[in-house]
Structure 1
């Protein structure tokens, strides 16, 4: 009787592991031709503000002529030539940006507006 329980446990384990592996493979495969993920982070500390904008091309094809505009200010614009599929680019916002919003537009018609987010400060953590 113990052998059947062991076999059942082994079969269940194989099914769970297979399901997890298939799920991870499926979520990493791009389904759209053009897709862009934008994350804008503002981390105020006691003496300065750390900030960054992360752009990731989640699509199957490259994104071209990317314009990054900070706080709807036409003087605070960055131009990028291309972001290849799967590529991640980290940008530092220019001096003078209020770090409220960022707008990213591509030649392929993608337009993403994001507000800067601030991480939650935990007591005892560095920077809190």
Structure 2
């Protein structure tokens, strides 16, 4: 009789544990970067930004951000760390290439940042 209550309770507990564990953000790769390149036109000036986040479990090293006309060098990005860069005026405004060790190569075109509605 007790087995009738134990088995469904164990199944419900296992399902709840699985849901909990899958809802926790975990790095799925040892080495991974997320790169976002965007342009923001706020009607006063046009600004370009490159955001790099280490989404892996380990440090990523020797990060090179190639703007086409010059490069930025970042020696190390730790897991979870976010780097925000502002390219110089002479940088290419079409795309940015990010390389890093081990074996990371990402090319991103600049996207337009969504406009916010201004309330007066």
Q: TM-score, normalised by structure 2?
A: 0.76
Q: Which runs of 5+ in 1 are unaligned?
A: 1-14
The counterpart of 2:26, out of the listed 26, 29, 35, is 29
Q: Which runs of 5+ in 2 are unaligned?
A: 1-14
1:56 corresponds to 2:53: yes
1:118 corresponds to 2:112: yes
In the alignment of these two chains, the number of paired residues is 105
Q: Name whichever structure is richer in strand by fraction.
A: 2
Q: TM-score, normalised by structure 1?
A: 0.72
Structure 2: distance between partners of 1:69 and 1:108:
17
The counterpart of 1:105, out of the listed 92, 99, 110, is 99
Q: Deviations over 1:33-86 (max 9, x none)?
A: 11100001101232311221110001111000000011xx2x321000000011
After TM superposition, the runs of 4+ consecutive aligned structure 1 residues lying more than 6 A away are none
Pairwise CA RMSD? 2.2
